[in-house]
Amino acid sequence: MISYVTRRCFILIPTLIGITLISFLILQLVPGDPARMIAGVEANEKDIEAVRHQLGLDKPVLLQYGIFLKNLAKGDLGESIRTKNSVVYEIWPRLINTVRLALASLIISLPIGLIAGTIAAIRQNTIIDYVTMVCVLLGISTPTFWSGLILVLIFSVHLGWFPSGGAEGLMSLVLPAVTLGAATAAMTARMIRSSLLDVLRQDYIRTARAKGQKESKVISNHALKNALIPTVTVVGLQFGYLLGGAVLVETIFTWPGLGRLIVDSIFIRDYPVVQGGIMFFAFSFVLVNLIVDVLYAYLDPRITYE
């Protein structure tokens, strides 16, 4: 296992380099000149050229990319064009807020999804199963911006139980976490139901029942653990989505997360911040995939990476 993790860590290097190259070239194709935006609308061409030279934007694209990789190897992501602060200084607190939001949504969604999916599988083709699947369909198909606005309208405007936005305290985390966690809970419930139904038809489940084991023991000790393997994959992908796809929720609830920072930086052509944010997202996503692969071996001892 240790050798496998070591190999995967080495694979991270070319993967991240490829991500930097793609994102760097895409940002070069984005219309607009950051030097012109920084210099101001009343600046003449000489002033704009001076700003462009100061930022290094007058160099060839490949040379700019080489300088970026050289600085990246030193742990330097550059400076924000807008604030002149270090990119790491700009990104780190926003990344912490995004991770907080993603973890909170998982804490809310995973128990709900696992319990609902398990009950639906055990009570297949009953009213409980049908109601659960209808709720799952609603959870998957409801847009987050709509459900977020509805939650704000009900629990903030009318009831006043939770703040409508900001990141002050634990109470401000509840509504955005529920908004993000609804779709994740629905997806988890759907996956665990499908996997559990497949596992319950296996021969070793019938053998366990024939030995007189209680149904609760059969589900918890034999069926559920094996059904979690494909579910872990979905949850890992969903966590990556929560890290990178929470922009709408962060905007609705004015949550100071990394996704919102990247979008704002794209509008003002703050390329170093955008590039740094993409790197953080990419590294987080690859790290989550590595953790998921390690969990496979824990859930099923037959899986080995040696």
pLDDT in tens, 217-236: 777 766 777 777 777 777 77
| pLDDT at residue 305 is higher than 60 | no
Distance CA 64, CA 53 (A): 12
pLDDT in tens, 151-182: 888 888 888 788 877 777 778 788 888 888 88
List the beta bridge partners of residue 79: 86
* Average pLDDT of the segment spanning 43-61: 69
Q: What's the whole-model pTM score?
A: 0.74
Tell me the pLDDT band of 35, cut-offs 50, 70 and 90: low
**Burial (CB count <10 Å: 0-12, 13-18, 19+), residue 45:** exposed
State the chain's mean pLDDT as an integer.
76
| pLDDT at residue 301 is higher than 80 | no
Tell me the pLDDT band of 47, cut-offs 50, 70 and 90: low
pLDDT in tens, 89-125: 888 888 888 888 888 888 888 888 888 888 888 887 8
Instruction: Write down the residue that tokens 């653990």 correspond to.
Output: 225
Among 74, 37, 85, 72, which residue's Cα sits nearest to residue 57?
37
Between 75-79, 133-137, 246-250, the lowest mean confidence (pLDDT) is in 75-79
Domains of the chain: 2-87 (no CATH), 92-264+292-299 (1.10.3720.10)
Distance CA 141, CA 139 (A): 6
Among 257, 280, 213, which residue's Cα sits nearest to residue 94?
257
